[in-house]
Amino acid sequence: MPDTQPLVGVIMGSRSDWETMRQAVEVLEQFGVAFEARVVSAHRTPDLMREYANEAEGRGLEVIIAGAGGAAHLPGMVASQTLLPVIGVPVQSRALNGLDSLLSIVQMPGGVPVATMAIGTAGARNAGLMAVAMLAVRRPELREQLRAFRERQEQAVRSEPLE
């Protein structure tokens, strides 16, 4: 984990979410964005969740990525207690394939937004990229890195052989 001041807080409801959420962390590492990652559960550690949300801005975080599965209340409950932008990642649940997670995260009442990503690893990866894009608004170097990433991605697709 980078030892500079974290700008992005990556939290997840359970250790079992880590396999998915590490995709977000890998993107942040790729862009050299300082982050912290930890388990914070809306249901199993509600006091820790409240504390985390209340203190995040004061600790210098600028974006929170929150992943959870099933009754995935973590992103919305954190968003209700901080002014920081919260990006929600619906983790693919065993019972309902993540549709439960998606609906739990995306159907926020008007007034408390959560930027909801796709279910599973694509969502986690995009959460990392979304956080980078948010930070890049006021950081020209990061913006250039993002531009270069998109260009490399395009070139890779253009030159990809089918067989």
Residue numbers belonging to the annotated binding site for substrate: 14, 17, 44
Closest CA to 66 of 108, 24, 110, 94: 24
Nearer to ligand RP5, 43 or 139 (CB): 43
Closest CA to 114 of 11, 5, 1, 2: 11
Is residue 90 near ligand RP5 by the rule CB under 6 A?
A: no
When binding is defined by CB under 6 A, the residue of 8, 61, 91, 127 that contacts ligand RP5 is 91
When binding is defined by CB under 6 A, the residue of 6, 9, 13, 120 that contacts ligand RP5 is 13
The helix/strand/coil state of 35 is strand
When binding is defined by CB under 6 A, the residue of 6, 7, 35, 41 that contacts ligand RP5 is 41
Q: Which residue has the tokens 């990433």?
A: 149
Is residue 97 near ligand RP5 by the rule CB under 6 A?
A: no
Is residue 14 near ligand RP5 by the rule CB under 6 A?
A: yes
Residues 43-62 close enough to bind ligand RP5 by CB under 6 A = 43
- Burial of 83 (C-beta count, 10 Å sphere; 0-12/13-18/19+): exposed
> Closest approach of Cβ 5 to ligand RP5, in Å?
27
Is residue 155 near ligand RP5 by the rule CB under 6 A?
A: no
When binding is defined by CB under 6 A, the residue of 7, 10, 35, 69 that contacts ligand RP5 is 69
Distance CA 56, CA 13 (A): 17
Helices (H), the chain: 18-30, 46-56, 74-79, 99-106, 121-136, 140-158
**128 is written with which tokens?**
């990392």
Is residue 70 near ligand RP5 by the rule CB under 6 A?
A: yes
Is residue 104 near ligand RP5 by the rule CB under 6 A?
A: no
Distance CA 12, CA 76 (A): 12
Interacting residues with ligand RP5 (CB under 6 A):
13-14, 16-17, 41, 43, 68-70, 91
